[in-house]
Structures are given as C-alpha cells and as structure tokens.
Amino acid sequence: MRPKTKKILFSFSLLVFLFFYIPILFVIIFSFNDSKLGTVWTGFTLEWYGSLFQNKQLISATMNSLYLAVVTTIIATILGTLAALALHRYTFIGKKSVEFLFYIPVVIPDIVVAVALLAIYGLLNMSLGLNTAVPGHVAITISYVMLVVLARLSSFDSSLEEAAKDLGANEWQTFWKVTFPLIFPGVLAGALLAFTISLDEFVISFFTLGPGDNTLPVLVYSMVRLGVSPEVNVLSTIIIAIMFIVVFFVGLRMRKGGTAK
C-alpha cells in the first residue's frame, strides 16, 4: 500500500475508534465524578459506587436481567442448535421455507414481537410477570443462535460422523464425542450473542414485563427521564468492565481452540 493511502486509512480508523469509545470513556470518567449533575467535573469520588450497591431497585433489576438472559440463552441455544442440526442434516419438503422463517425474526422490528406477545397474553388473559418476557427474548435470539451454528456446520465434514459410526459409536455417542465438540465454538458464539441481546433488550421487556418487574434497560430508561444520574454511569462502567472481561476470555479461548485445530 502507498504511504499516503496508509496514512489516510489510519486516520480514518482512528476517527472511527474515537467515535466509538469517547462516549464510553466519558461514562467511565463521570462515574467517578463528585458532582450530582454529572455534566461538570468537580472532583474524584467513589461515593456512587457505594450508593449503587445500596440501591435495591438497581440490584433487583440486575438480577432480573441476568435471570432473563440466562433462561433465554439456555432455551435459545438448545432450540437454535437443534434447529440448525435439523436444517443441516435433513432434507424435507418446505425446508427452504422453514429456513426463511428463521431469518424473519432477525429483520422484524422488536416492537412487532412485543405487541404481538402482548395481544396473545391479553387474549389468554395472562397476568404479566418476569417470565412473560421470556418468549419474546427467545423469539428474537433463537435465529441468531441458529444462524451462527448453521454457519459452523457448513464447514463441518459429515464424513467425520460416518467415521465415528464406523468405529462403533451410536448416534448419541457420535454427537457428543464428535459433532458437538466440533460445532461447540459456534454454539458458544450463538449463546453469547443470545445472552448479550437479551441483556440489552428493551422494547420487548418494556411491553411484556409485569408492572413491578424491571430489567436494567427498563430501569435505566425510567431513571434517565429524570436526568442522567451518576449511578447510571457507575452501572454502565461495571457492565462495560464485565463485558470487556468476558469478550477478552472468549477471544482467548477461541484463539486457543483455533490453533488446536
């Protein structure tokens, strides 16, 4: 590449990174800000970190979010992986249509899913609670899991399964000893995607949660309506830190898995 082109490309990349990370950096810095208004720097404090952990509302919302994310991830990962295996392995009438139906939730607006679920719950006369958000979360994450696992399966050599059976492994053993370990990176990636999407989900949660049940995004939304409090900054900082650590370790693991292949 020519030096000049390289320079332009570098500057451009830098700008993109700054655009991504400066707001996040501000959030982190202002989580240590002494001022209650959060727009002017007045001094360093850890006060908000302390008060966050006293905030019962926030803690219960965090627990709700984690609960929803874990349940969603488990259901979506199992169903999505099974769907991917079925689509990969079998040919049946209407297979293309079924595959197409799995792409729909990726492009459909969340609000549609939310309203539809609400309508069904109304029809069934169900009262809303924490678990009424689960179907919506699963509905929007299952496609991602399926797509990621399907992508992994497309590079999977099915003669390996034949080799396992040839060596005396039944269907069950073949799956757990050969198929699953080899598609595991895809399953893990799908699960992480489902987890983060669920953790982040606002619209469906907002519509389908019971009146007393908040998730983090829903709670933060109600908090910022009264102005960005330093506690929100602290919460964001902690979430950023956790996600950073998770992504770092997953990346490390994937890399190791990659070379071991």
Partner 1 sequence: MSVQMVRLENVIKEFDDSIVVDNLSLDIRAGEFLTLLGPSGCGKTTTLRMIAGFEKPTTGKILLNGKQVDDMEPYKREVNTVFQSYSLFPHMTVFDNVAFGLKMKKVGKEEIKERVTKALKLVQLEEYGNRKPKQLSGGQQQRIAIARAIVNNPKVLLLDEPLGALDLKLRKQMQLELKHLQQTLNITFIYVTHDQEEALTMSDRIVVMNKGKIEQIGQPVEIYERPQTRFVADFIGQTNIIEGTVSEINGDLATMEFAGQTIQIPNANHVELNEEVFISVRPEKMKVSRTPFEGAINLKGTFKEKIYVGSVTKIVVTMPNGKNLTINESHDKIEDLTDTSDELFVSWKPIHSVVLKK
Residues in contact with partner 1 by CB under 8 A are 157, 159-160, 162-170, 173, 177-178, 181-182, 260-261
**Least Å from the CB of residue 27 to partner 1:** 41
Closer to partner 1 by Cβ: residue 105 or 185? 185
φ, ψ of residue 33 in degrees (nearest 5): -80, 140
Give the other-Cβ count within 10 Å of 26's Cβ: 13
Closest CB 176 distance from partner 1, rounded Å = 12
- Least spacing, CB of residue 81 vs partner 1, in Å: 17
Q: Which is nearer to partner 1, 56 or 261 (CB)?
A: 261
Q: Least Å distance between CB 168 and partner 1?
A: 4
Judged by beta carbon, residue 123 or residue 260, the one nearer partner 1 is: 260
Q: Minimum CB separation from partner 1 for residue 160, in Å?
A: 5
The residue (of 63 and 163) whose beta carbon lies closer to partner 1 is 163
Closest CA to 178 of 166, 161, 191, 165: 161
147-to-75, 104, 143, 245, 249 alpha-carbon distances in Å:
15, 12, 6, 25, 23
In angstroms, give the least distance from the CB of 161 to partner 1: 9
Asked whether 202 and 217 are in contact (CB, 8 A), the reply is yes
Nearer to partner 1, 39 or 159 (CB): 159
Among residues 1 and 260, whose Cβ is nearest to partner 1? 260
**Burial code of 190-214, b = ≥16 C-beta within 10 A, e = fewer?**
bbbbbbbbbbebebbbbbbbeeebb
Q: What is the rounded distance in angstroms from the CA atom of residue 231 to the CA atom of residue 229? A: 5
Nearer to partner 1, 169 or 238 (CB): 169
Phi, psi for 163 (deg, rounded to 5): -60, -40
Report in angstroms how near the CB of residue 173 gets to partner 1 at its nearest: 6
Q: Is 237 exposed, middle or buried (0-12, 13-18, 19+ CB in 10 A)?
A: buried
212: Cβ–Cβ under 8 A, 6 or more apart, which residues?
none
**C-alpha dihedral, 175 to 180 to 182 to 184, nearest 10°:** 170
